[in-house]
Structure 1
Amino acid sequence: MADNALGRFLRARREATTPPSTERRRTPGLRRGELADRARISVEYLTRLERGTDRSPSGQVLSALADALAMTADERVHLYRLIKAGTNCAPPPPPPLRPTVRATLDALEPTAAAVLSPAGDVLASTARFREISGLNDEQNLIRFAFSPESKAHYPDWDRVANDRAAALRAAADLGDHQAAVLAFELSITAGAAFTDRYDAAASLPPTTGTERWGPHLLVFETLYLPGDGEHRLMIYFSHH
C-alpha cells in the first residue's frame, strides 16, 4: 500500500466527519478518541492505523470504522480497495471447466443455468441465466446479493441474502481461500447487512427451493460436479 494510503484516507474521513458538539476546536472533525469510542477500538490502535504502523486491520475493525464514519457505499468499496492494493497477491486461476460441462450448459438452453465456484463466481452460464440473473458486469452471485442493486432484483431479498451468506460461510469453513477473501471484502463493503448473516449462519444453504428474480419465480436444483474445483451446477426452472 503506497505511502500509507489507508491511514491517510481514514484520517481524512475522520477530519471531515461532523463532531458530536458545536464547541470550537483547533482541529476539524472528530478527535481520535471520539472515533475510537464509536468504532469500539482503542485510541492507540486507531493511531497505529492512521500512522501506517499497522496496515493489516481485520474486516471487523474496518467495518466498524466505516460505520462510525458513516461511509457511503462507494467509500466502503474504496476502503476495501486500499487494503487489497497492499496485499500484492493475485488469486490463483480457477481450474478450467471440462468440455463436457460446457456441453451440458449448451444442452440446457434455453433454461437458466450456471456453473459456480464455492465462492459464488459464475464460471460459465447459459444465455437465459445471463438474461434474468441481474448480474450485468458482476461475475459473483454472492457479491451481487449484497450490492445496492440486489434488493430491487430480489423481492425476497432477506431470505436470498441469508442463503448467500450461509453458502459463503460453508465454503470458507471448508478452507476455500476465495470464499474467505470474499467474506473479508463484504464485511467492509456491505457491513452489518452481510456480517450479521455470515456470523449467524448455522446451517447449510438449501440445495433446492424457489427464488424470485425480478418478475420470475424460479425453482432451482443444485448438482455438484466431480473434480478438484468443487464446482456446482445451478439450474433454475420457471415455476408455473
Structure 2
Amino acid sequence: MGTPLGDFIRARRDGTRPEALGLPEHGRRRAPGLRRSDLAARAGISVEYLTRIEQGRDRNPSPAVLNALADALLLDPAERGHLRYLAKITGGECANRPRPAPPARRVRPAVLETLRLLEPGVAAVTNRLGDVLARTAAYESVLAGTGLLDGDAPNLTRYVFTDPRARELFADWEDVADEQAFDLWLGPAAENHEWFVAELAPAAGPDLTRRLHRHAVPRRGELRLHHPSGAELRFARETLELASDAQQLVVFLPADGATAEAVDRLRGPSRGRLRVIS
C-alpha cells in the first residue's frame, strides 16, 4: 500500500519528461516520464531505496533525501513545501491519532472584529476543508443566489464538487477544483481531513479522488465568476494565514473597474452586517 508521499514522488516522476532534465530518450517506455533509475541517479540514492519510498515501505526519508529528490525533480517552492508536508504526515501515519472527526468551527472574536473592519469589502474566514466560517455582508451579497451559501454550514469544497451551479459560477472551474482538492491535504488536522474526505468522496466521485491522488500544486491566479446577475467578475485574492486556528482570512479584491461597480450594485445600501457560522 502506498503513502501520500510515495504517490506524490511517483506522480512527479511520471510527469517529468526526460528531455526537460537533459536526459536522452531510450526508446519506448512502459510508463511516461522518468524511469526510477533516472531519478535515483539524479538524487544520488539507490533504485531500491526509491522504490521503497514510492511503495510506502520507507516512511521516514531524511531531509537530505527529500531535498535531493526535490532538486532532481526540479520542484518549485510550493511543490517543495508540499513534499515536506507529506513527509511529515506520512512519517506519523503509524502513530496513535484521534479518530476521524469534524473540525472545530469557532472563529476567535479578534478575527471576527478584523473581518468587521474589512466591511464593505468582500472577505471571508475559511478553513482548508472549505468551510465558510464567517463572512462580510459584501461576501454574502456577491455570493447570494449562487447556491454556495444555502444551508447552515456552507462549504466551498462540497459546493465545487457536488453542485452543478458551481461549474456555471466559476469560469475556471478546473483550476478552482484543483485548489480545493489540494487544500484538503493541508488540514486543518489529519483526522479532520480523513473525516471530510470520507464524507465527500462518494458524492464527489472521480473529479475529487483523481485530484487527491495527483497531488498537483495549484497555481492560484485570478478568480473569475460568471455571476447569476449576468456580470462577469474578476477578483485578486489576498490570503492571511491564521496558523494557530488552522483558518484563513481571504480578501477578494476587484481586479477591474467593471467588477468594482458590479460589487457595489450587488452590495446595495446595507453596511456593517457580519454573518457568522459557528
TM norm structure 1: 0.55
For the residues of structure 2 that align with 1:95 and 1:166, how far apart are their CA atoms? 20
State the superposition RMSD in angstroms. 2.3
Q: Report the equivalent of 2:215.
A: 201
For the residues of structure 2 that align with 1:104 and 1:158, how far apart are their CA atoms? 32
**Is 1:164 aligned to 2:180, yes or no?**
yes
Alignment of 1:173-192 (within 5 A): 175-192=189-206
Secondary structure of 2:175's partner?
helix
1:149 maps to which of 156, 165, 175? 165
Contact 2:100 2:191 in 1 (8 A): no
Shift of 1:151: 0.2
Letter in 2 for 1:136: L
Shift of 1:221: 1.1
Q: Deviations over 1:177-198 (max 9, x none)?
A: 2222222222210111111111
Percent same amino acid at aligned positions? 33
Q: Kindly tell me: are residues 224 and 122 of structure 1, through their superposed partners in 2, closer, same or farther at Cα, counting changes over 3 Å?
A: same
Shift of 1:93: 6.1
For the residues of structure 1 that align with 2:102 and 2:200, how far apart are their CA atoms? 20
For the residues of structure 2 that align with 1:91 and 1:193, how far apart are their CA atoms? 23
Contact 1:119 1:176 in 2 (8 A): no
Letter in 2 for 1:149: R
Alignment of 1:86-165 (within 5 A): 91=101, 94=104, 96-133=106-143, 134=146, 135-137=148-150, 139-147=154-162, 148-165=164-181
For the residues of structure 1 that align with 2:243 and 2:198, how far apart are their CA atoms? 28
Q: Report the equivalent of 1:54.
A: none
Shift of 1:105: 0.8
Shift of 1:112: 1.2
Letter in 1 for 2:222: T
For the residues of structure 1 that align with 2:238 and 2:150, how far apart are their CA atoms? 24
Shift of 1:226: 4.4
Structure 2 alignment gaps of length 5 or more: 1-98, 227-231, 257-278
Letter in 2 for 1:157: W
For the residues of structure 2 that align with 1:95 and 1:183, how far apart are their CA atoms? 17
Q: Deviations over 1:88-125 (max 9, x none)?
A: x9945616322221111111112111111231111111
Shift of 1:168: 1.1
Letter in 2 for 1:168: L
1:236 maps to which of 244, 252, 263? 252
**Is 1:219 aligned to 2:232, yes or no?**
no
Q: Which sits farther off after the overlay, 89-98 or 142-151?
A: 89-98
For the residues of structure 2 that align with 1:168 and 1:115, how far apart are their CA atoms? 16
Structure 1 alignment gaps of length 5 or more: 1-88
Contact 1:225 1:233 in 2 (8 A): yes
Q: Kindly tell me: are residues 99 and 181 of structure 1, through their superposed partners in 2, closer, same or farther at Cα, counting changes over 3 Å?
A: same
